[in-house]
Structure 1
Amino acid sequence: MFGMLKTVAALLVSVALLLLANGLFSTLLAVRMTAEGFSTGLAGLVGAAYFAGLVAGSLIAHKLVERVGHIRTFAALASLISAFAMAHAIFVDPLVWAVLRGLTGICMAGVFVVTESWLNGAATNQNRGQMLSAYLITTYLALGLGQFLLTAYDPTSFVLFSLASILFSVSLVPLALDRQASPTPVQPARFSFAKLYRISPLGVIGCLASGVLTGAFYGLGPIFAAEMGLSLAGISAFMSATILGGLVLQWPVGKLSDRFDRRSVMVAVLVAAALVSLAVVPALGLSFELLLAVAALQGGLSFVVYPLSVAHTNDHISADDLVPASAGLLIAYGAGAVIGPLGASQAMEIAGPAALYYTLAVTSLLVAGFGLYRMTRRAAPTVEEQGPFVPLTRMTGVASELDPRGEEDATAS
């Protein structure tokens, strides 16, 4: 394990610094929009623009990696992200911010392509699962811990924008100084989206819903917390608890889905996510500690919908199709992540900040209902026929090469 980590240590440190900054910056931006008096609808537009850029970037970034290589691509894109972060402090306008967030999303997708193709190149058939787990843990911990940097200074000043910019810039240093040879760029294959839906309707809709749930949370969660009266420290803790909850519940829920009909587990998770989402606002009125516990549980249930959807889809495709199918599912996730902030922000403008979690609850229940419907249309594979659940964060299509299920199935066949 440690030998494997040594080969990608510089890369993971660079990614951790970048995501530490990104965790701070996304929350800072939402808090600053509240302080500036931007409407919730405009805030939703800014949040959606980032995810739209992320999807667009994941489709084109591999071309840049092929032309100039991994390290140069990472360095160039991290520098641009750093510059865009500072530009937010100079041009305080929601439409300008939407453009900047879209550009940031494109660049961030390029960074993820570099990271995930590098990890794939460094992985062997024996350590792919460990490599993926290391990436997952790095991602969640960095995003979660980055929330606490929000309390370092007044968010209405330029200081926190500068801090995020510094971290974005410093993130390129470990990788730039690394002496490990960079891998050959990987160009992800893609599935026909219509074909993917025919193979696994629930998998596609589940990924779409996962995007709605997480996109709305990242874009509007800090605004919900601020408008409900939480302090900066409270907003940081609330966001962090939700994100880290998303890490902790992946393994126990995944184990359950390997033992039972995965659709049943998915429906149960979605219903539980809806109920817990409805409990967030009442918990806020009882105690802060209870709020954090409920937020962690809500995050854990919501964030696990994506890997459950991917695992369910993989139960119905061959090992050769795993990578292109995962790329298609990522597009579904990205579409949901654009829809989430846009839709939830309109609900919040009509019904107040609590409508964020009402929107998440309704989304979860609708997909749970679709899951129940799909259970009447197709028999479940046996437990022996199901592939193993693999904990996942949102990835680019390149990272699907890391999924050990493809290697295991290919070897078995």
Structure 2
Amino acid sequence: MRSLLVAIFVMMAGSGFLSTLIGLRLERAGSGTMIIGLVATAYFGGLVVGALRAGEVVRRVGHIRAFAAFVALLSASTLTYALFQHPALWASLRLVDGLCVAGVFICVESWLNDRAEPTTRGTILACYMVALYSGQALGQLILRSGNSAPQIPFELASLLISLAIIPVCLTRATAPTLEDAASLPLRRLFEASPLGVAGAGITGLLLGAFYGLAAIYARRIGLSLGDTATFMMTVILGGVALQWPLGRLSDRYDRRRVIIACFAATLAVSIALAMAPAGALLLALGALFGGLSFALYPLCVAFANDRLLPSERVTASGQLVLLYSAGAALGPLGAAAAMTLAGAGGLFLFIAFGAAAMLGFGLWRLATSEPVPGAAQQDFQILPRTTPVAALLDPAGPEPSAASTESHPQTGDPWKNP
């Protein structure tokens, strides 16, 4: 499965910085904050629609053809930004981008899950997360190439995205069959874990706001283009670094208290970022913000799963990622309104407001509900915020079907037959 991981790394290196670049270009062209927020919302809206509908394309034409089609369309969309600049067109392109990225994630995640055994699922998930976020972080550095010619970042992005097709098209591995996902009523999920459901949605709201408008915040407080890229990369890398320690902490103590503490710390760090000047302190606060905020989603998923039957957990995790994506689609609009009223720092004031609301809700749940016994808590697992298919990669997820096992006999090495 090395070919899939190489493909997702290259694609994220090419596409992961586009939200930053597009926001900066729109601002430089004179677009208002609300317009930039609407364009960012279009991308997350495309992710939601793609997560719900792209699976039909994969089932109809197969994983390799679907992957190639999604990547080719994403590459063409990326080049179109360099040809024409208009907010309405770019919003449409971002919607297409979201659909394509969701389709790519569904192809890769379902394929990885089909190859996973219970003993290798955790390793495959960890490697997938490393490929995903390291590609996204390193891709931010491409922003620096725009100093010489404005079209170069889009051209480099399209080049990398196109190259991502090669490892998948040349793989010798047999593509799996994508099964229909089971459903779990949202009412049942909320009744089981109000804090987990609300936390997943609010986390999407906060991180959608950040991804959509953080670059605008950075530029308006005086950061250069290169420093803006460094700031974005620092937040992403900080997010990866703290997820595991916070997750281990939540395994040892009441997970609700860890979630509440993370929202409280996110509130404090966001207020500090709203007032922080450019410099080393800003980068340190950015890394801390990433570490805290990125951990919130998997913590909320783990807490929700603690209160569900084992047979419901994978489906619930899929529902929660859709709630996260729906929140992310609304986040840029709220943050744009806050920045219009309060200036650049309004972004983190909006994030602080959302964290404060969840802090209050969490404290109320802490006072009115009983904790899950420590022995009943499942082990924390870092999960990507991509599509419902990613939930199948959780080590607690279902074992591969007998048919899929027969189609590619396991040898004990999860990376054989790439």
Which category describes the TM-score, using the shorter chain as reference length?
Answer: over 0.9
State the shift of 1:293 in Å.
1.1
Q: How many residues align?
A: 399
Counting only pairs closer than 5 Å after superposition, residues 217-256 of structure 1 correspond to structure 2 as 217-256=210-249
The aligned counterpart of 1:4 is none
- Can you list the C-alpha shifts for 1:75-114, whole angstroms capped at 9, x where unaligned? 0000000111111222211111111101110111010000
Which among 306, 313, 317 is matched to residue 315 of structure 1?
306
Deviations 1:35-69 (A, max 9, x none): 11110100000101100110110011111111111
Amino acid at match of 1:391: I
TM superposition score normalised by structure 1 = 0.94
Query: Which AA in structure 2 matches 1:319?
Result: P
- Which residue matches 1:163? 156
* Structure-2 residue corresponding to 1:345: 336
Task: Spell out the pairing of 1:169-180 with structure 2 (5 A cutoff).
Answer: 169-180=162-173
Contact 2:322 2:387 in 1 (8 A): no
Q: Which residue of 2 aligns with 1:295?
A: 286
- In the alignment, the residues of structure 2 paired with residue 281 and residue 201 of structure 1 have an alpha-carbon distance, to the nearest angstrom, of 29
| Percent identity over paired residues | 44
Question: What is the distance in 1 between the residues matched to 2:17 and 2:325?
Answer: 21
SS of 1:395 mapped into structure 2: coil
1:215-269 Cα distance to aligned partner (Å, 9 max, x none): 1111100010011110111000100010111100001000110011111000000
Deviations along 1:276-321, one digit per CA (max 9) or x if unpaired, are 1111244325xx2221111000011011110011000000111111
Q: Distance in 2 between matches of 1:132 and 1:403?
A: 7
**Cα distance in structure 2, aligned partners of 1:142 and 1:187:** 29
CA contact (8 A) 1:154 1:160 kept: no
Matched, 1:186 2:179: yes
2:65 aligns with 72
> Which residues of 2 match residues 3-152 of structure 1 at below 5 A?
8-152=1-145
Q: Does 2:375 correspond to 1:380? A: no
3-state SS of 1:125 partner: coil
Q: Which amino acid aligns with 1:179?
A: R
Aligned twin of 1:270: 263
Q: Does 1:195 align with 2:188?
A: yes
Q: Secondary structure at the match of 1:284?
A: coil
Alignment partner, residue 411 of structure 1: none
User: Matched residues in 1 for 2:116 and 2:224: separation?
Assistant: 43
Which residue of 341, 349, 373 maps to 1:358? Answer: 349
CA distance in 2, matches of 1:154, 1:193: 48
Secondary structure of 1:376 counterpart:
helix
Contact map agreement 1:47 1:219 (CA 8 A) in 2: yes
Secondary structure of the 1:406 match is coil
Whether the 8 Å contact between 2:383 and 2:391 is mirrored in structure 1 is no
CA shift at 1:190, angstroms?
2.0
Give yes or no for the alignment of 1:406 onto 2:397: yes
8 Å contact 1:28–1:155 — kept in the other structure? no
Equivalents in 1 of 2:148, 2:12: separation in Å?
19
- Matches of 2:393 and 2:289, distance apart in 1: 28
Shift of 1:394: 0.3
- 1: CA distance between counterparts of 2:380 and 2:213? 30
The whole-number CA distance in structure 2 between the counterparts of 1:402 and 1:148 is: 30
SS at match of 1:333: helix
Q: Is the 8 A contact 1:32 1:156 kept in 2?
A: no
Paired with 1:281 and 1:234, the residues of 2 have a C-alpha distance of 17
Q: Which amino acid aligns with 1:254?
A: G
What residue number does 1:208 align with? 201
Indicate the SS of the match to 1:371.
helix
SS of the equivalent of 2:16 reads helix
Comparing 59-68 and 151-160, the one that deviates more: 151-160
Alpha-carbon distance between aligned partners in 2 of 1:186 and 1:82, rounded to the nearest angstrom: 28
Task: Determine helix, strand or coil for the equivalent of 2:281.
Answer: helix
**In 1, distance between residues paired with 2:147 and 2:233?**
19
- Residue 328 of structure 1, aligned match among 296, 319, 337: 319
Cα distance between partner residues in 2 of 1:101 and 1:165: 14
Deviation at 1:407, TM superposition (A): 5.2
Secondary structure of the 2:17 match is helix
Whole-angstrom CA distance in 1 between matches of 2:82 and 2:341: 29
Aligned residue in 1 for 2:407: none
Letter in 1 for 2:174: A
- Provide runs of 4+ in structure 1 moved above 2 Å: 153-156, 281-285, 405-408
Please give the alpha-carbon distance, in whole angstroms, between the structure 2 residues aligned to 1:100 and 1:187: 28
Q: What residue in structure 1 maps to residue 416 of structure 2?
A: none
Mean Cα deviation higher: 181-190 or 390-399: 181-190
State the partner residue of 1:392: 383
Match of 2:272 among 279, 286, 290: 279
Q: Is the 8 A contact 1:35 1:156 kept in 2?
A: no
Cα pair 2:274 2:344 within 8 Å, conserved: no
Report the CA distance between 1:156 and its aligned residue. 6.6
Moved more, 181-190 or 320-329: 181-190
**Partner of 2:408 in structure 1?**
none
1:319–1:407 CA contact under 8 A, matched in 2:
no
> Larger deviation: 148-157 or 333-342?
148-157
What letter corresponds to residue 151 of structure 2 in structure 1?
Answer: F
Q: Quick check: 1:23–1:142 contact (8 Å CA) kept in 2?
A: yes
Whether the 8 Å contact between 1:54 and 1:109 is mirrored in structure 2 is: yes
Question: TM-score scaled to structure 2, two decimals?
Answer: 0.93
**Distance (Å, rounded) in 2 between the aligned partners of 1:155 and 1:134:** 35
CA change 1:293–1:89 in 2 (3 A) is same
